[in-house]
Structure 1
């Protein structure tokens, strides 16, 4: 077959042995960005999982996996190729072509039962058939990621309304889009995640077409078009132009509170006969339809009679945000606080196993110990107590926890332990302890019996000084309480301490400002929670000092940060930043793969919140609130919680799309919810 399909707009390279696509380039774009993973740019990935190859479940005789990889070339030239693969009774035909004067690239996958018996390709998990689509979404290093890698925003759970938007991580040139034009997708899976590549690759993507049962001689297809675009608006416009089954949803909020009305506005493949969960739509303008309900929750189906199109969106509905937080606070006190008088563990907040229904005391790995990210539970308690000072149960619990932190997670000089008895240095831990001291200082908690009578403010000062003595200036710290602590010191601290803290924060901010997008690698080579702290710190410095250079620097960080966010019509995905390793490190089931939502995506909410204040931008404020609300999917009405929502249908063959059983570190989402509420109240009092 021809080694390439080429036009002025596309250059597509093939593997002559397997027929797989190994490169997609834009000849008119600067640089050498290959939008798919290949042996050249992702040599760690298996050769059998290149673009356009796949597998089907043909039963126990082939151990439920038969891979297509040896094609018969039906035809091939420099603008098109048709390949056939034979797997027992199944004939797979792959047709590829350039259309629209070479501006779009089309792929059509046909599945034909050439046997004499029915062939069921609709397994119970929806993963019995898959097409490998290895998007080039990897964090090799900062420079390479920003120049040659892309975020894959995948919407494969929408049935006939499915798409993928690739966003170049550094924002260089046009981006690659994919929209389904025939057939439907059930979802996506991830493979090739392991302890070798660790957290620095999203792995190999697999798209799962909905084929179902094939009678003898029956054929079903799934197809898509690929195209170049500039931004989200351009992406959606081109999707509507290329696909007769594409629907663009305009949904103000994906998480509803109480009986709040959900409003689904739609354009594209809808008409006056379309229904939403069986309810008729109303035309509100040329080509624009709307449906409303105060009860919708979960999977919402959009159908149009006489069409094969059936799309889905996903909404969440809470009884009450306030009640949810209150339930979570009670659950932590009742279920997750260690009661072991006379031991160092007494008073600590711990990981809880929702399956065993008890504290997972047997699991002592660093990401499950009594320190580190678990400090978020203590800060949540302090913020809740500040809003509810008469809550004696929370007061008693926080007093015990604060005593534990001061006695067991810090020494007299402010050094922060990595866990109970662990002196391994992990600088990420310091800002969280600093935040705890300030949050406690903002309450009237009785701390006279803690650590020789030192006040939370004195503990904060020691922690801050120790953090910078230990090298904190070079960290992109998650949760460093710059604005909160400076405001507190301005109101209640000494002038000398205020100036000292301000000096240290400004020096730290200057280092981040000077580096720009030359991000250092930390526990992951490049990630959302490296970029978000840079944006937040610069925005907080601007809000306190009003020096323009901090805002200028923050603008650059925000552009990089927001590229991690997608616009899928699902409360777990919409505006939620890409993260894909936390289930392994913090969950019970040690699952790799996309975690949507994940509580550290609320760092984006903090950044957008601050940005909305400095730019007087209500849109940014709405996005911030939406991100927070989306993360409330991690919490249940009874107060139980999960540290990770494993979103793909499967990861490395293991069933996904579920909440991990551990309640671990997710309470930072609630911490941020209360912090942003507190900041709003500060602004309303005229302090801005």
Structure 2
């Protein structure tokens, strides 16, 4: 297992960004980047080492030592001003100082990733309460943890992302200490300890033992609705003197402290007088989920639907530039065209119309959109284009069109807009047959509507089509079952949205058939899938799966780097939702709901949306930590919000029917 990238296991990474090197901004004369990389060795033995780097007026002393019989590794970075003038190290981005920590989070290929690579779950935005949990992608043996024991971190950045390595590496991580200003002779230190651990509970327990400034938070919900009360339960570096946004906490004998408020929104600061500890966490508060979805739908109809009567593209839902306040017709790349992922907006409209059949604006909008799909995104055989006029085969597109046809079939829209008066179910059948004829049985498909389509077909008495669809899905599922964790590469070598579809498909088949082999296979997938999730105390990160390329492919600013949250993390919510029903596990249902709510960070109450929340402070030197200006494909998050609500309603009705039949 290689926990840290090095020339041996990551030859594409620059040598100057190896572990423990870094840079500091010493002003314009050094073009704001002075790197430390040539140390003087002060001492070195079998269990410890001391180094020094001299960068003009700044001396950086690095100490490393093995402790606890070699079971922990301690590292400290001391920054000392030996000059005669104050050093201002508090730059505008908070990135004036960076320590390279190249965690080995890369997707070279599935086999090596599962055997030798690790997911890096960073909590670097937490101030004095900062940590990193490395989780082996394949779940073999112990994991590696890092907890800050002295000083504070402001956040992290990413470098070395480009079109060569593409989407298969998270790049080089940089941790940013909070040093701010250093007066002459003044010094400040950032230190951490690294240790072995098993699961998340073991990780947090060991963090508390190793760091006197660590706080473990237990927060029921990171997204609050309306005037809902937020509850923070804390253990670790807290006491009766601790305050949360200035409000004193209540502590009990076992060391657990609690604070509550119906006002917290955004940054929440936890401080204890008499110490330098200042921990941070982040909550989100929205006015109403229903009103948020309604506002988003109005926004799409009014600003993102193409109005071009009698001409190509009329009725399509398009990418919207929130800066220009225009549809981005000038951006013609496939990831921004009128097809592909944008189909999610159409499915969202159909789901909303099913719940609100009297909404004529949505009805009329969906009619125009469905006509566009049937005439410009499909041919008469069911073949799905990769955008209007683009016949390049991309199998991912088929399941989304299948999902659209089933969603429309669940409304009273009828045959409007279809070729030759075909019904949505007839279009679904042609799309399904085309998908499997084109090789779809080998795809790990995102959004294949296994459970939804079979339920609908059964409910309308389409027994022949039901049997055909079920056989195709079962054969497809068997291939995924047989492969186990031997995932094939698709658009990325190995990623969360390869594993999630495998888990979802097997779970949906289990919910249809009730045969244990499908649940057994799904549990193997779930173990792999949930390792992508972190437990950081931030609504954008907590339980949100790692993704780090979508801002580049789908955003206006073409930014690489971590996207937290990203709407495809709601695939984890779908998997956990189905798993909760399969196992009668309410905790999984709660996690699923939390992931959906976390993704509402991509939307504003006025209906604006962003396709990617770029989380790092900077990527390749460009300022990050913001929402990309494009409203593109993020509406899948709202689609799944409505889908899971629809499934809950179905389960409730089935339970009531069963109860009435028995009585």
TM-score for both structures, normalised by structure 2: 0.99
The residue that corresponds to 1:126 in the other structure is: 94
In the alignment, structure 1 residue 156 sits paired with structure 2 residue 124? yes
Q: Does 1:302 align with 2:263?
A: no
Deviations 1:638-675 (A, max 9, x none): 00000000000000000000000000000000000000
- Are residues 1:260 and 2:228 paired? yes
* Cα distance change, pair 666–285 in 1 and its aligned pair in 2 (3 A): farther
Deviation at 1:285, TM superposition (A): 4.2
Matched, 1:116 2:93: no
Q: CA deviation at 1:592?
A: 0.1
C-alpha displacement of 1:631: 0.2
Instruction: Return the alpha-carbon distance in structure 2 between the equivalents of residues 447 and 363 of structure 1.
Output: 32
Q: Which runs of 4+ in 1 moved over 3 A?
A: none
CA RMSD of superposed structures (Å): 0.7
Match of 1:88 in 2: 56
Q: Determine if the alignment matches structure 1 residue 584 to structure 2 residue 591.
A: no
Q: What does the per-residue CA deviation read over 1:454-508, in whole Å, with 9 as the maximum and x for residues that have no partner?
A: 0000000000000000000000000000000000111114211111000000000
- Give the Cα–Cα distance (whole angstroms) in 1 for the partners of residues 611 and 217 of structure 2: 29
Instruction: Give the counterpart of 1:147 among 76, 101, 115.
Output: 115
> Residue 124 of structure 2 contacts residue 156 of structure 2 at CA under 8 Å; is this kept in 1?
yes
Q: Distance in 2 between matches of 1:373 and 1:129?
A: 39
Distance 2:586 2:366 in 1: 35
Residue deviations 1:311-337 (CA, integer Å, cap 9, x gap): 000000000000000000000000000
Q: Give the drift of 1:447.
A: 2.4
Which residue number corresponds to residue 651 of structure 2? Answer: 683
| 8 Å CA contact retained: 2:549, 2:560 | yes
Q: Which runs of 5+ in 2 are unaligned?
A: 659-663
Query: 2-side partners of 1:659 and 1:493: how far apart?
Result: 46
The CA deviation string for residues 311-364 of structure 1, in whole angstroms up to 9 with x for no partner, is 000000000000000000000000000000111110000000000001000001
Give the counterpart of 2:292 among 312, 318, 324: 324
Instruction: Name the CA distance, whole Å, in 2 between partners of 1:450 and 1:69.
Output: 65
Contact 1:399/1:446, CA 8 A, preserved across alignment: no
Of 328, 346, 351, the residue aligned with 1:360 is 328
Residue number in structure 2 paired with 1:443: 411
Tell whether the 8 Å contact from 2:102 to 2:174 is kept in structure 1 after alignment.
yes
Asked if 1:469 is matched to 2:437, the reply is yes
The equivalent of 1:249 in structure 2 is 217
Question: Partner of 2:384: helix, strand, or coil?
Answer: coil
Note the C-alpha offset of 1:217.
0.7
1:485 aligns to 2:453 (yes or no): yes
The one-character-per-residue Cα deviations of 1:165-206 (angstroms, maximum 9, x if unpaired) are: 000000000000000000000000000000000000000000
Q: Where does residue 201 of structure 1 map in the other structure?
A: 169
Q: Using the alignment, how far apart are the partners of 1:450 and 1:568 within structure 2?
A: 47
Q: Paired residue for 1:431, among 399, 404, 407?
A: 399
Counterpart of 1:406 in structure 2 is 374
Establish whether residue 391 from structure 1 lines up as the match of residue 359 from structure 2: yes
1:224 paired residue number = 192
1:618 maps to 586
State yes or no: 1:59 paired with 2:27. Answer: yes
Distance in 1 between the 2:575 and 2:149 partners?
Answer: 37
In the alignment, what sits opposite 1:497? 465
**Which residue number corresponds to residue 648 of structure 1?**
616
C-alpha separation in 2, matches of 1:553 and 1:685 = 28
> In the alignment, which residue of structure 2 is the partner of 1:25?
none
Closer/same/farther in 2, CA of residues 352 and 668 from structure 1, 3 Å limit: same
Separation (CA, whole Å) in 1 of partners of 2:567 and 2:262? 27
Q: Distance in 1 between matches of 2:602 and 2:377?
A: 27
Provide the C-alpha distance between the structure 2 equivalents of 1:325 and 1:495, rounded to a whole number of angstroms: 35
**1:271 corresponding residue in structure 2:** 239
Q: Pick from 456, 460, 482: which aligns with 1:514?
A: 482
Could you tell me how far 1:452 is from its partner in structure 2?
Answer: 1.2
Pairing 1:555–2:523 present: yes
Cα separation, 1, equivalents of 2:15 and 2:70 = 28
Hey, what's the Cα distance between the residues in 2 that align with 1:127 and 1:156?
A: 12
> 1:3 aligns to what?
none
**Structure 2 match to 1:536:** 504
Give the 3-state SS of the residue equivalent to 2:593 in structure 1: helix
Unpaired runs of 5+ in structure 1?
A: 1-32
Render the CA deviation track for 1:404-426: whole Å, top value 9, x for unaligned. Answer: 00000000000000001000000
- Return the TM-score normalized by structure 1: 0.95
Q: Does 1:76 align with 2:23?
A: no
- Comparing 92-101 with 440-449, greater Cα deviation is found at 440-449
Aligned-partner SS, 1:639? coil
Which of 46, 51, 67 is matched with 1:99 structurally?
Answer: 67
* Distance across 1 between alignment mates of 2:87 and 2:383: 64
Q: Is the 8 A contact 1:399 1:447 kept in 2?
A: no
Distance 2:444 2:319 in 1: 26
The CA deviation at 1:237 is 0.1
Task: Classify the secondary structure of the residue corresponding to 1:503.
Answer: helix
Distance in structure 1 (CA, Å) of the matches to 2:65 and 2:214:
21
Tell me the residue number matched to 1:333. Answer: 301
Q: Distance in 2 between matches of 1:492 and 1:127?
A: 59
Structure-2 separation of matches of 1:186 and 1:346? 47
Determine helix, strand or coil for the equivalent of 2:654: coil
Partner of 1:16: none
**Equivalent pair of 2:367/2:416 in contact (CA under 8 Å):** no
Deviation string 1:62-87 (CA, Å, 9 cap, x unpaired) is 10000001100000011000000000
User: What does residue 606 of structure 1 align with?
Assistant: 574
Establish whether residue 453 from structure 1 lines up as the match of residue 421 from structure 2: yes
d(CA) in 2 for partners of 1:552 and 1:535? 10
Give the aligned partner of residue 661 of structure 2: none
